[in-house]
């Protein structure tokens, strides 16, 4: 995790805690697993490659954590069904695993029982500065970000008061006036950070 410079944490309020969901019904009986899969695609996949400097966490119902680490990640493809199969395997690995320990699943994917506070503590311990992505925050382009930035997003539902109590004290960043889908937010943040890293300005050209 030492080289990782970007992290995204998706709060899933309806996702599955057990692996017995059908891959054929990700938006329905799998509790909007389709959102998590699209977030994984946007977090990691670029044209013909994987962003190795990214960490992605899913916090499912504030009880189950899945961590995808770009440094070691394998088998992630653009289709939602195969991504859901990887997450399903990780959820299966967590069953029977004692709380407090990450359990490896496929390369780059781990699962454990834990909550949002667990993820916050882990990211802070790894030296990340933490931000909430929220429609009513400060506009991203005007915000100075730390070298290691982690962004918390909600799924199709608003952050709950309990979620926000775990995220107390964090700055809120907005990507614009429209409420966007979570995966679009990840793409926009990546693009802004890519531009900053490459020192592109509006006067630059390729």
Binding part of the chain for ligand SAM, among 84-92, 117-125, 128-136, 197-205 by CB under 6 A, reads: 128-136
Give least dist CB 187 to ligand SAM, A.
12
43 binds ligand SAM (CB under 6 A): no
The contact mask relative to ligand SAM for 157-196 (x = CB under 6 A, - = no) is xx---------------xxx-xxxxx--x-----------
154 binds ligand SAM (CB under 6 A): yes
In sequence order, the β-bridge partners of residue 7 are 55, 150
Give least dist CB 45 to ligand SAM, A.
19
12 binds ligand SAM (CB under 6 A): no
| Best CA proximity match to 172, nearest among 130, 200, 204, 202 | 130
135 binds ligand SAM (CB under 6 A): yes
Give least dist CB 56 to ligand SAM, A.
14
Which of residues 76 and 167 has its CB atom nearest to ligand SAM in the complex? 167
Q: Residue with CB nearest ligand SAM?
A: 154
Q: How far apart are CA 6 and CA 10, in angstroms?
A: 13
In sequence order, the β-bridge partners of residue 6 are 54, 149
Q: How far apart are CA 130 and CA 102, in angstroms?
A: 21
DSSP 8-state symbol, 17:
S
| Best CA proximity match to 150, nearest among 59, 49, 88, 41 | 59
From residue 169, alpha-carbon distances to 77, 120, 178, 183 in Å are: 36, 12, 24, 24
Give least dist CB 176 to ligand SAM, A.
5
Q: How far apart are CA 56 and CA 67, in angstroms?
A: 6
Residues that bind ligand SAM in the complex, under the rule CB under 6 A: 133-135, 153-154, 156-158, 174-176, 178-182, 185
């Amino acid at each position: 995790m030492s080289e990782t410079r970007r992290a995204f944490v998706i709060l899933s309020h309806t996702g599955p805690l057990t692996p017995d969901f059908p891959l054929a019904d990700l938006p329905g009986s799998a509790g909007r697993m389709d959102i998590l899969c699209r977030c994984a695609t946007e977090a990691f996949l670029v044209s013909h490659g994987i962003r190795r400097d990214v960490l992605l966490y899913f916090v499912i119902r504030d009880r189950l954590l899945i961590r995808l680490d770009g440094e070691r990640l394998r088998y992630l493809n653009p289709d939602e069904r195969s991504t859901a199969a990887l997450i399903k395997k990780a959820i299966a690995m967590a069953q029977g695993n004692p709380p407090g320990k990450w359990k490896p699943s496929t390369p780059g994917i781990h699962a454990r029982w834990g909550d949002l506070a667990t993820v916050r503590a882990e990211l802070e311990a790894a030296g990340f500065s933490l931000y909430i992505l929220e429609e009513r925050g400060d506009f991203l382009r005007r915000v100075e970000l730390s070298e290691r930035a982690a962004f918390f997003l909600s799924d199709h539902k608003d952050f709950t008061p309990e979620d926000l109590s775990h995220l107390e004290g964090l700055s809120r960043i907005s990507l614009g006036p429209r409420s966007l889908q979570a995966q679009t937010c990840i793409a926009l943040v990546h693009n802004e950070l890519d531009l900053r890293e490459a020192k592109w300005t509006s006067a630059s050209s390729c």
